[in-house]
Structure 1
Amino acid sequence: MVNKKLRADCRKTGGIQRSESFHAVNLMPVIGDNKLCASGILIPSYRNQVAFIDVFDESLPNTNFNWFMSGTSGAGKSVLANSIARSVLDKGGTVAVQDIGDSYKAACSSLGGTYINGESLRFNPFANVTDITLAAERIRDQLCILASPNGLLDEVHESLILEAITESWPQYQQDMRIDHVIEYLKKQQAAITREHSSLIGGRIDEITTLLGKYSTTGIYGKFFNSSEPTLKPDLQFVVTELGDLRKQQDLLSAILFTIMIWNENMMYTTPRSMRKMNIIDEGWKLLGGSSTKIKDFIEEGYRTARRHNGSYGTVTQAIRDKNLSTAALAAYDNSSFKFTCMQDAKSFTTFQKEEPHAFNELEWEMIRKFPPAKKARYSSFLLSVGEFSSFHRLILDPLSDGLFSSKGEDFTYREKRLREGADIKDILFEMADNDAHKRDIIHMLREMQL
């Protein structure tokens, strides 16, 4: 039994306080939250207990290394996604990001990455191909998506395109262009019509018309017929900003799919010991509509990525975005890790009516209470791995917070100072110095005895 005088002293110093049973139980040290991983990104639980997340950790109940993140503006999802990307780079891995909104521009500059504007992207479906028997079907799929992003081509169209690729390759090889596919089909149209039917011959007119805008003389020809593709195999960290292409949805879908193929090739041709991650931020709603070919490609790629130590990450504005296209739904269904950040209240209420069993009662309530990252100075999120879920916060140091922030004032200040020629490290210290809270933390860290 506790001595009465000791009990009185503890009361005076605040060591003992009255509380409701619910709070007492939750604060007892005998209750332990899920620690998740032994190392990785520090994400304290809602009881302020230590937890780490590493999407490549195989001790968790995950079937793959893929992740899906949703959150409205101001939820802190850009900070969280940047942190995941940096954790891969810290392990010597490679990261490729396709973004709409410049959320990764500062991190790319600071970490020595390659930043590519969408307008300057150049591709060639036939570049870097060494064995056409292995690559032909992937090139066929790519040309099918170029011709019809919504997946309106049938098996006959696909067979004709595949024949044009395999028959033209021996003559042109890596110098081959989309023009050569069109040229072959036009030359063979009469023979195909005689051998089969005028109906099948008519399919060639459809293919050549649809692919025409991607030929060297077409409106999008400059993007897909380059002798020097922009994306190189030696890029460790590359960010592709596609915001300039938002109004050209067919072109954007084609470019996103082409980049996905490039990323898949990178995963398959680099050592399996190396971590590889591909992140698409805000682009899924514009990719593919109802195309079953893109859906099948994503499902296959997401399932096989783990064998090559690869991870696909998806970032959207709301969890409802997973239902905007077959591509987005395939990405969601094939991701073991789900990060659910603060949601738009109206959209989240609609989602609850549409899918009432997506979360349990406590999870619905807690997600609604997530504060804006700017106000709370941390990102709040529900992490679901397989059948297990837990609530966490991401609290960054002032410099990382400034580097990863996509807030309007932070982005504007960084861009202004970069144009003036300032170093990114100096800019981050300036941003911290302009915030009283961050300034105090920096001062405390500098005074800390090591």
Structure 2
Amino acid sequence: MIVFILFALVIFSALLLQLRNPANNTKDLEKILPIYNIEQDCLVSKNGDITIVYELSLPEVFTLSAEDYEQLHHIWLRAVKLLPAGTIVHKQDWYTVDAYKADASGNQSFLKINSESYFNERSFLNHHSYLMITLKADGRRPANSVFSNLLRPTLVPSVALRPQVLHDFLDKTSQVTKLLSDGSHIRCRQLQEDELAGDEKTAGLIERYCFLLSQGEDPVRRDIIFKPEWQIGEKRVQLYSLADPEDLPAICGSRITYDKYSTDVSKFSVGFAASAGLLLRTNHIYNQFLVIQDTPKTLRRMETRRRRLQSLSAYSRENAISCDATNAFLNEAISQQRQPVKAHFNIITWTDDPAQVKDLRNKTSSAIAQMDASPRQEIMGAAQIYWGSLPGNAADLPVNETFDTFAEQATCFLTQETNYRTVKPDQGIRFCDRFGRPVYEDLFDLPRTEYGWTSNMGMLCCGTSGGGKSMTLNHILRSLYDQGAHCVIIDIGGSYKGLCQLVKGYYFTYTEKDPIKFNPFWLPEGTGLDTEKKESLKSLLIALWKQENDPYNRSEYVALSNALQGYYQLLENDPSIFPCFNSFYDYLQSTFSVILKEHKVKDKDFDLDNFLYVLRPYYDGGEFDYLLNAKENLDLLAQSFIVIELDNIKDHPILFPVVTLIVMELFVSKMRKLGRARKVLVIDEAWKAIAKSGMAEFLKYAFKTIRKFNGIPCVITQELDDLVSSPIIKDAIINNADIKILMDMRKFMYKFDKLQDVLGLSDKAKTILLSVNKDDREIFIDLGGQMSKVFKNELCPEEYFAFTTDGKERVQVMDYAERFGGDMETAITQLLKDLKAQKHLLN
């Protein structure tokens, strides 16, 4: 036998080496490859086997529950049982090391350019999954390690392909793919002829497999050598197989517990074969074969074997044990109506660096051991297994490299997960998956319009102090701003000052030297007083005049309306007058008082003197004369990034209500006048102060109405008790916030049930949330209870220093900004240079 195998290796190597002669490419391929032709996008082998190939879209890794894995296992099991005896299911998963390509499209901001540069060329593991279903030709002899088409490279089909056979096969495979796609987890797409065969510029699946080419890699043909070491060009190749029952785990299932993300109160699930998939972080192909058996014929064969072993059991304990195992197999097959199959699994790994071969072996052996299986490296039979794993050549997998089992057990070894999916950079927010690969996630549009996960764009962010809330929201806001959104942030704590200064937005805050200033009376040039602006100014004036519970009559409302109309008419006639509260007050004292006297308006209808007296503190020389008379930062409608920092006035009985009213008027104006532009309203911790000031209705209004105007309302809180106890949060915000961003909650794992109930999280979402680790900069995002994922919010150094809320770092950034005249880009760039130089000196 060994002589035949060595002979096969010599012939195989010699034939493949001939590919280096361009003049004989076509002839050599015809001789070497077992594929005869491609008919109707199906591979036809030289023995008459038919193979149809699908690309699978699998669920994203680390997003499934134990119930999801059971469902997937059941779907695969039903699909396998649909196929007739003799069919071979070959699932081939490619995991190839790739590098992230920076987005170089369009005019990019300072932070966008630096973040793309930071992640450029970052290594990650690409994944493509293919399902190949092969119908063996009638009368085909079973392959084995000696008798293989590897020794018969010029064989042609003995029987011509019958159209009816192909039609029936396609009908059966369409049933299988429909069954697989009926759930929400798997999608199937049949590969076309050019994807299988390739062309001069693009390698097809067959050529990629022969020379271990990554998808998109140039089609370069390489030497294939098996002795003294297996090499394909410069690649050092290893093959490990699971084909001997002695090497298999004693127990298998649809999932296993992943200890890294589990806690004392939650068990985090991954697929049973995940360690052979994405968790094996190196170039590899995981081949999974299931050969559907004729059940009656198989049971007769096993019964014959059982009797033979029983007769020999007296001579060997091994025979007795094998007899018992065979008897148990027959009992289970008959009593539980099991589907017997022959199965084989192998991992082909490779590396370009000879020094990494030992590490490659250790990683692969460890991956197999994590399934509680015994790793076995193939040496003598590697060539035949490699050749039998060629797309379209599954029927030539050596039968002595398979083992008997049931479909229920065999399907446990199928990989079930793939990488996080990503959208285009201009459609989503850049995060990283849990392996560190940059991905763009659309939180607002696709989940609502395409997937039906969410019905609104309300967002709730919750996490303890230091958990990363501000960093995350800064990053989301920066991304939305770069995509053209208008952002209004009501903040307590100064978390957005750096970003606001960087994007040259308006930053409103209160200090004794520089108190907060607005000018709601100012209108952009070329615009007039419309109904909406008039109504917002009347609401502001009434709020300044009357107490919260004081009523106002119809005549007072009409008088203020006439006053505003006359004031703006005056501004139109006399452009030298600067629009502000001072000039409006002057107009009331002079012109409008005369008008009231002419129309004999009584004090009970409109008490002008009382009005002027109450509003006198906001007039020139009054206590709050700065508040409504700003001369800078005027065009709030056109400014797309505005921060109102309320920390110093959140408890002020006069300033705080006025400022919140102005913010309301500002955002409603943006909401109604900016058309299709996205509007974002962020209330960071300030919601408590707003609710106390009687503005709870505004929060309710914003969360219920803003979605109709392409708006995103967002509330941020850090206290779990706020969520549990506040009716404002619970009734107005949580119920209208389909997007939930939560930070590390492991410290609350033993009292999480009440919070879980308030947030409406499923047990699956709870398990995923409790796996979040803030030390890895991880965050949890839930979309409408339908999608739950954990991302890393990894930032480039420029983003970090633009967003930082650490007191010492923030002072450092602002000091540098002051040195460079407020130029944050130059300040951050120079700060990083200085820090790098200091680190170099210390080293």
The answer to whether 1:268 aligns with 2:667 is no
What's the CA shift for 1:258? 0.8
Q: Is the aligned partner of 1:64 residue 2:456?
A: yes
Q: 1:220 aligns with which of 615, 624, 630?
A: 624
Say which SS state the counterpart of residue 391 (structure 1) adopts: strand
In structure 2, the CA distance between the partners of 1:429 and 1:278, relative to structure 1 (3 Å rule), is: farther
Once the two structures are superposed, the pairs formed by residues 55-134 of structure 1 within 5 Å of their partners are 55-60=443-448, 61-118=453-510, 119-128=514-523, 130-131=528-529, 133-134=531-532
Deviations 1:340-360 (A, max 9, x none): 2235957x9778547745334
Give the aligned CA root-mean-square deviation in angstroms: 4.6
Q: Which has the higher strand share?
A: 2
Distance 1:82 1:176, change over 3 A: closer
Within 1, Cα distance between the matches of 2:649 and 2:477?
Answer: 24
| Conservation of the 8 A alpha-carbon contact between 2:242 and 2:346 | yes
Q: Residue 165 and residue 36 in structure 1: after superposition, are their counterparts in 2 closer, same or farther (change >3 A)? A: farther
1:282 corresponds, among 667, 674, 685, to 685
Which residue does 2:540 correspond to in 1?
A: 142
Residues 130-175 of structure 1: CA deviation (Å, up to 9, x unaligned): 34543343334334554578x434xx42746523321322332365
Kindly indicate whether the alpha-carbon contact (under 8 Å) linking 1:43 and 1:395 is maintained by their aligned counterparts in 2: yes
Report the counterpart of residue 707 of structure 2 in structure 1: 306
Deviation at 1:76, TM superposition (A): 0.8
Of 13, 18, 30, the residue aligned with 2:416 is 30
CA shift at 1:124, angstroms? 3.9
Compared CA separation, residues 221 and 342, structure 1 to 2 (3 A): farther
Query: How far apart are the structure 1 equivalents of 2:736 and 2:543?
Result: 21
Q: What's the secondary structure of 2:737's corresponding residue?
A: coil
Per mean C-alpha deviation after superposition, the further-off stretch among 400-409 and 336-345 is: 336-345
Provide the residue aligned with 2:738 in structure 1: 336
TM-score, normalised with respect to structure 2 = 0.42
Residue 110 of structure 1 aligns with an amino acid whose one-letter code is L
Whether the aligned pair in 2 keeps the contact of 1:279 and 1:314 (CA below 8 Å) is yes
> RCO (CA 8 Å, sep 6+): is it higher in 1 or 2?
1
For residue 807 of structure 2, the aligned residue among 408, 418, 422 is: 408
Deviation at 1:81, TM superposition (A): 0.6
* Match 1:386 to one of 770, 776, 784: 784
What letter matches 2:465 in structure 1?
A: S
**Aligned residue in 1 for 2:661:** 257
The CA deviation string for residues 60-110 of structure 1, in whole angstroms up to 9 with x for no partner, is 333333322122221111111111111122223333333222222222333
In the other structure, the counterpart of 1:164 is 559
Q: Secondary structure at the match of 1:390?
A: strand
| Counterpart for residue 116 of structure 2 | none
Percent identical pairs in the alignment equals 19
Does residue 14 (structure 1) correspond to residue 411 (structure 2)? The answer is: no
Q: CA deviation at 1:381?
A: 2.6
Kept in 2, the 8 Å contact 1:100–1:283? The answer is: yes
Distance 2:363 2:781 in 1: 34
Distance 2:797 2:722 in 1: 31
- Larger helix share, 1 or 2: 1
Structure 2 unaligned regions, length at least 5: 1-240, 248-344, 350-359, 373-410, 572-578, 821-825
User: What is the SS of the residue equivalent to 2:692?
Assistant: coil
State which of 625, 638, 644 in structure 2 corresponds to 1:234: 638
- TM-score w.r.t. length of structure 1: 0.73
**Cα distance, 1:162–1:361 mapped onto 2, change above 3 Å:** same
In structure 2, the residue matched to 1:152 is 549
Distance 1:74 1:95 in 2: 24
1:248 aligns with 2:652: yes
- 1:182–1:211 contact (8 Å) kept in structure 2: no
SS in 1 for 2:648: helix
Cα distance in structure 1, aligned partners of 2:616 and 2:753:
45
Partners of 2:447 and 2:783 within 8 A in 1: no
The answer to whether the 8 A contact 1:214-1:221 is kept is yes
For 1:383, what is the secondary structure of its paired residue? strand
Q: Secondary structure at the match of 2:507?
A: strand
Instruction: Name the SS of the counterpart of 2:639 in structure 1.
Output: coil
Letter in 2 for 1:73: S
Does 1:395 pair with 2:794?
Answer: yes
Q: Note closer, same or farther for the CA distance 1:126–1:326 as it changes in structure 2 (3 Å cut).
A: farther
1:431-442 counterparts in 2 under 5 A? 431=835
C-alpha distance in 1 between matches for 2:546 and 2:421: 47
Sort the Cα spacing of 1:58 and 1:101 in 2 relative to 1 into closer, same or farther, 3 A: same
Structure having the higher Rg: 2
Counterpart Cα distance in 2 of 1:176 and 1:416: 34
Task: Classify 1:125/1:49 alpha carbon distance in 2 versus 1 (closer, same or farther; 3 Å).
Answer: closer
The one-letter code matched in structure 2 to 1:84 is I
Q: CA deviation at 1:232?
A: 3.5
Q: Point out where structure 1 has 5 or more consecutive residues left out of the alignment.
A: 196-200, 441-450
Q: Distance in 1 between matches of 2:834 and 2:753?
A: 43
Which 10-residue stretch deviates more, 116-125 or 248-257? 116-125
> In the TM superposition, what are the counterparts of 1:338-353 in structure 2 within 5 Å?
338-342=740-744, 345=747, 352-353=753-754
Give the Cα–Cα distance (whole angstroms) in 2 for the partners of residues 390 and 354 of structure 1.
Answer: 16
